[in-house]
Amino acid sequence: MVGIRVAFVLLLHVLQFRVVHGQKLFAQSGNSDELLDFSTTQKPGDTLELSSLSSERFTRLSHPYFPRHSARIKKSNFCDETVQAYTGYLDIGTRHLFFYFFESRNDPDTDDVMLWTNGGPGGSSSVGLFMELGPCNIVSPNKTVFNPFSWNSNANIFFIDQPVGVGFSYADFGETVGTTEEAAKDIAAFVAIFFETFHKFKGRGFHLSGESYAGRYLPVYASEIYDQNAKLAAANLTTVNLKSVLIGNGQVDFFQQLKSYYHMQCTGVVVAPMQPISTCVRMQKAIPRCEKWTKAACVDHFDLMECEASLSFCETELILPYIEKGYNPYDVTKMCCYEEPLWIEQYLNQPSVRSTLGIDSSFGDYSGIAFDLNMAFTKNGDMLHRNQLYIAELLERGVRVLIYAGTYDWICNWIGNERWTLSMEWSGHEEFASLPLRGWQLDGKEVGKTRKAKGLIFATVFGGGHMVPHDKPAEALAMVNRWLVGEDL
């Protein structure tokens, strides 16, 4: 029965993608001369201008607080001819995290900085870049087009393949991490290196954003960055001005999400009931047992084997009926698949594109999904956390949080996400939970519902699926632009 649970985790950003899986060939230390041929090496305490970077060679960046971490970055102008673009790696010993960075189309010298990550665990953020909110959209295996709704319209934005082993990220000997807490230390170090080195960004507002399993990643990453700031300040080093966290259709609380699968399939809350009456009746009977068992085994007192067993029961009764019907887990109005992930893989495996990005020639085929990493996180029970505990602590410290959800998503649906935001214990709980949902508008038309109190916003986007920027790009950009300047939805 554990196999069902593994399949469920993969659904968070894997199933329904048409993919060709290539095997990665990891560069050994003696075979990576091309990748390690730097034009300049930045010394601790030095500052650099992005405009001074080379398009032919990487420049290595270091940080006095992180002697095991360094980064390398180069100009890699592609995707959006209207802005400067860069690519590079965060190096931690023999592990290497790949990133893209695009300057803002508006004013890179004043606009805030944002980092985007996709979920999985094991999904490449190239999906977010080329299929959702990046400066260009993939339209065939050989072509991208300008995306007028890119989130770099008013922000400087990173897309990062993380944890190590995802996308173009790699380890010399295939090693990886197995928990979000481990991965958080690398992300926090990377962010600190960036703000310490590039002087013009010091003090600039920083926002963590992502979707799906990012509901697990980002609360932990933001907490690590926040706590790290105290250590950096004590060492008289640059701190990170962490302003907010944005989570789209996130897997924040697996426990609150379970019951929502019944509502999505049987109550007509979004679309007409999708299951036979007999199946819905069985689900209703299973819900009390599911909630009682998972609460005892996963919430009140965590026991990994018992928690896995309880979830296997819940998923068999509440999730499997949907999967067996062949519905798209990311959009209840669709069947089957997306073409773009396969196009992205084919595009990023072209030698000319890889040369522009600075990918080591000894690196094997790019794949949008890292199944080995997914299995490592699964074995460690990484997805069995209730991450609103981190979100509550961030809110108490003045870090704003936006939880948004497309109403057509099934796997991390808006019902489950609203449920945990209403039940989360924090100083703003009473005010937030007492407010009704109200409409928010774009161009005079209501495009979703929202609720807001003391730095927390919950928002739905009508007609959006799991990937809101893909399905509703204008609404997604309007939402983000308002969020960045502190405007209400």
**Is 13 annotated as catalytic?**
no
**Is 331 annotated as catalytic?**
no
Of the residues 409, 429, 470, 471, only one is catalytic, namely 409
Please state the φ and ψ torsions of residue 440, each to the nearest 5 degrees.
Answer: -120, 150
Residues 472 and 487 sit within 8 Å (Cβ to Cβ): no
**Is 409 annotated as catalytic?**
yes
**Which element (helix H / strand E) includes 88?**
strand 85-92
Token pair listed for 2: 């554990």
Please, what is the end-to-end C-alpha distance for the chain in angstroms?
43
250 CB-near residues (< 8 Å, 6+ apart) = 210, 211, 212, 213, 214, 215, 216, 218, 403, 412, 417
Residues 265 and 220 sit within 8 Å (Cβ to Cβ): no
Residues 366 and 345 sit within 8 Å (Cβ to Cβ): yes
d(C-alpha 258, C-alpha 7), whole Å: 15
* DSSP state letter for 123: B
CA dihedral 75, 77, 83, 87 (to 10 degrees): -50
3-class SS shares of the chain: helix, strand, coil, % to 5: 40, 20, 40
Of the residues 96, 207, 466, 470, only one is catalytic, namely 466
User: What would the DSSP string read from start to end of 132-200?
Assistant: IISSEEEEETTEEEE-TT-GGGSSEEEEEE-STTSTT-EETTS----SHHHHHHHHHHHHHHHHHHBGG
The alpha carbon dihedral of 161, 167, 169, 175 has a sign of: positive
Token pair listed for 387: 């991450």
Of the residues 212, 244, 310, 367, only one is catalytic, namely 212
Residues 151 and 114 sit within 8 Å (Cβ to Cβ): yes
**Cα radius of gyration rounded to whole Å, the chain:** 22
Beta bridge partners of 137: 145
Q: Which residues are catalytic?
A: 212, 409, 466
